Structure formats: structure tokens, C-alpha cells
Amino acid sequence: MNINFTLISQAIAFSVFIWFTVKFVWPPLLRAIEERQKTIADGLAAGERGRHELELASHRSSDVLKEAKQRATEIILQAEKRASEIVEEAKKTAKEEGDRIVAGAKADIEHEVFSAKESLRQHVADLAVAGAAKILRREVDAKAHADLLAAIQEDLK
Amino acid sequence: MASETELTPSSYIGHHLTYLTKQVGEGSFWVLHVDTLVTSVILGVLSFGFIWLVVRKATPGVPSKTQAFIELAVDFIDKEVKNIFHGDRHALVAPMALTVFVWVLMMNTMDILPIDITAKILENVFGLHNWKIVPTTDINTTFALALSVWFLMLFFNIKVKGLGGWLHELFCTPFGKSPLVWILNLLFNFIEYVSKPLSHALRLFGNIYAGEVIFLLLGMWAATGISGTIFGAILGAGWAIFHILVVTLQAFIFMMLTVVYMSMAHESH
């Protein structure tokens, strides 16, 4: 239990081990740990950035969605308006066309009636002349009484 | 032990507490405890070599389990140092704390090896009759460490504060600048400087030496017969389990004191 040369030898061994640790053990390990800390810090920062960007993107997407909905509503309204316009126009056109057809038909009918009347009148005049001729027999010269016959025909109109 | 014809308690204990010595010069100081030196150097080379092999290939990416283990230990020590020491700890103090902790822990742990079995192996395989396997039960080891720290402390005191600053601190703290208390201050500081290495070295030595002696005393139960041997073995196992705590705690305390002393040398009052 006495102090002797062992103390000095142990002190030398101790200083060699300290030197070794300071020189070869501590720096590489510290470097590795610090580098890893940096990597982790970078990763965390990147994650945070990603989260922020996701938030922005979701904001943007909801904005876009809202706008699209609004546009769709506008388009639907316009389309409805246009559709009712088309229907109105079609109704109007159809009515005009119908009126026109009806008017044409009426004119035709009148014309037919008129020509029927005309031909009937001709027939009646002819019949009347024929009847008169039969009654009068030879007394009546068609040529001599042409003006009279024409006057009768004119009266029958 | 085998060569001794008569085994008495005192010869048993004496045998286990005898160093393998070598005379390296004239006088009682020039004696070398070969067992202490060789064991401690082997332990140091093994542990620091192992750590070196791991950190040489240390990667900043995903660490291997071994690297993670080393990193845990280093990180633990680095945190303790960071709390106490407020300079550039990476230059010396933190690696020094690592050295102290690992080396002292390894030397202390030798205490847990079964003394008689290792003694038998050393004697029969290596032909070493006296070989103390726990370097920290040698007061030379603990004083070597404590005095090395003490000299470093003096060195950094003078380096950081300057010789004048340090002398000023010796005379003017802790009681003040008045010339009346210079002598008292100096006396106080003197006692402090003497007590630091003493308490530092003797705390470690006392704890581990006492643990060793208790193992020896428990080992002597074997002299009382079979039941005594079993009883002694149970007690020895219990003491060994408790000693795991003592061994680690003493290594930790030794390291902490080292860091505290180094920190005090760097900071003025």
C-alpha cells in the first residue's frame, strides 16, 4: 500500500490513453453525431416545409373548387335561359307558320268558292239562254239578239 | 496458493493482497507493481481499441448497434460535461472524461471477477503466483489519475487566468481582497488544493479496496465446510450484484470530480 514507481507508470499510461481518446476516438464520433444531427434537422425542416405547402395547396384547391362551382351555376343558368328563349322562339315561329298556312288555306277556299260560283253562274246563264231559246224557238236570232243575251248574262252575275 | 502447505485466514488474505513487484532502481520508491500496470494497460488497450475500431467506421447515417451503444455512452458523458464545463469541451475535457470513465469502470469491474478462480487460472496457466487483478485497489493507480488531473488543473488555472490572476485568486478568495485575510485565504486555498487529489484518489481506492476485502472475507466461508461454502457463495453473489452499482457509481463519481476540477480551473471566482 505504499506509493512507488507504479504511480508514475500509471500516470504515463493515463496520459497516453487521454491523448489517444482526444486524437482518435472523440473527433470522428463527434463528426458523425453532428452530421446526423444536421441531417435530422434538415429532414424536420423539409417536413415542415412540405406540411406548409400542402396547406397552401389545399387552400388553393378549395378556392378553385369554389370558383368552378360558381362557374357551373352560371353556365346552368345561362343554359336554362337560352333553352326557354329557344322554346319561346319555336312557339312564335310555329304560330306564325300556322297562321300563314291557315291564311293560305282560307284564300284557296275563297278562290275555290269564287270560281265555283262563277262556273255555276255560267251554267245558270247558259241554262237560262237555252231555256229562253227553247221557249222562243226560232223567234230569237242568236245573232240579232246577242246584245240582249249579253245583258241577261250580265244581270245574272 | 497450491504451493502453500498451511492455509490460514491471514495468509489467504495476504496472498490476495500481494503485488507482483519488480525492483527498477535503488530505494523503496523504485518498485513497480507489474500486475497493476499490465492489467490496467491491457484493459485500456482493449476498451479504447474497441471504441476506436467502432468510431473509425462511424457513419452519420443509421448507426450499427455497436456504434449506437458507443454513441449512447459518449452522449451520456458529453451531456454531463456540457452541464458543468462551459468552455470548448471537445478539445480536452470531454474526451478526457470519457477516458476516465471507461478506464476506471473497466478497472473497477475486475473486482467482480471471482477472485479465487482468476487467481487459480493466473497461477496454473500463466505461472503467476501473485497477481492483483483490480488495478484500482492499488493506491498508486488512483493517485496517478487524481494527481494527473490535479496537475492539469494547475496548468489550466495558470493558462486561463495567467499566473497573476491565479495568485490573485489564491490570496483574494474566498474571503475578499482585504490584506488582513490574505493569509486566511491562502490557507484555505492550500487546504482545498491538498484535499482535492486526496479525496479524489482515496474515495475510489477506499470503495474498491473495501469491496475486494469483503469478497475475500466472504471467500473464507469456504473454510467452514460445504454449508459454509454455499452460504458464502450466496452472500458473495449478493455482494457482487450490489458491487455492480458501486463499481459504476465510483467510476461515474471519479469522472464527475475530474470534470468539476477542470471546470473550476477554467472559471474564475
How many CB atoms lie under 10 A from the CB of residue B255? 23
pLDDT at B4 exceeding the cut of 50:
no
Q: In chain B, which among 74-103 make CB contacts under 8 A with chain A?
A: 74-75, 90-92, 94-96, 98-99, 103
Q: Supply the DSSP string of B179-239, one letter for each residue.
A: GGGHHHHHHHHHHHHHHHHHHHHHHHHHHHHHHHHHHHHHHGGGGG-HHHHHHHHHHHHHH
Its ipTM equals 0.87
Say whether B31 and A4 touch across the interface (CB within 8 A).
yes
- Whether this prediction's pTM lies above 0.80 is answered by no
The residue among B212, B245, B261, B211 whose CA lies nearest residue B97 is B261
pLDDT for res B247: 94
pLDDT at A141 exceeding the cut of 70:
no
> How would residue B19 be classed by pLDDT, with cut points 50, 70 and 90?
confident
Domain ranges of chain B: 9-266
| Average pLDDT score, chain A | 89
Mean pLDDT value of segment A44-54: 96
Contact (CB, 8 A) for B108 and B136: yes
pLDDT at B29 exceeding the cut of 60:
yes
- Omega before B179 within 30 of 0, i.e. cis: no
pLDDT for res B101: 95
pLDDT for res B128: 82
pLDDT, tens digit, for every residue of A68-107? 999 999 999 999 999 999 999 999 999 999 999 999 999 9
Mean pLDDT value of segment B158-177: 87
Contact (CB, 8 A) for B123 and B1: yes
B89 in active site: no
Q: How far is B37 from chain A (nearest CA, A)?
A: 6
pLDDT for res B5: 53
| Average pLDDT score, chain B | 89
- Omega before B197 within 30 of 0, i.e. cis: no
Say whether A10 and B95 touch across the interface (CB within 8 A).
no
Most A CBs within 10 Å, among B100, B140, B142, to test the A interface? B140
Most confident of A33-47, B53-67, B124-138: A33-47
pLDDT at B244 exceeding the cut of 80:
yes
B203 in active site: yes
- The Cα–Cα gap between B92 and B86 comes to 12
pLDDT, tens digit, for every residue of B180-230? 888 899 999 999 999 999 999 999 999 999 999 999 888 888 888 899 889
B124 in active site: no
Distances (CA, A) of B120 to A92, B3, B155: 125, 11, 45
pLDDT at B3 exceeding the cut of 60:
no
The residue among B92, B78, B145, B100 whose CA lies nearest residue B266 is B92
3-class DSSP state of A143:
coil
Query: One-letter amino acid identity for A122?
Result: Q
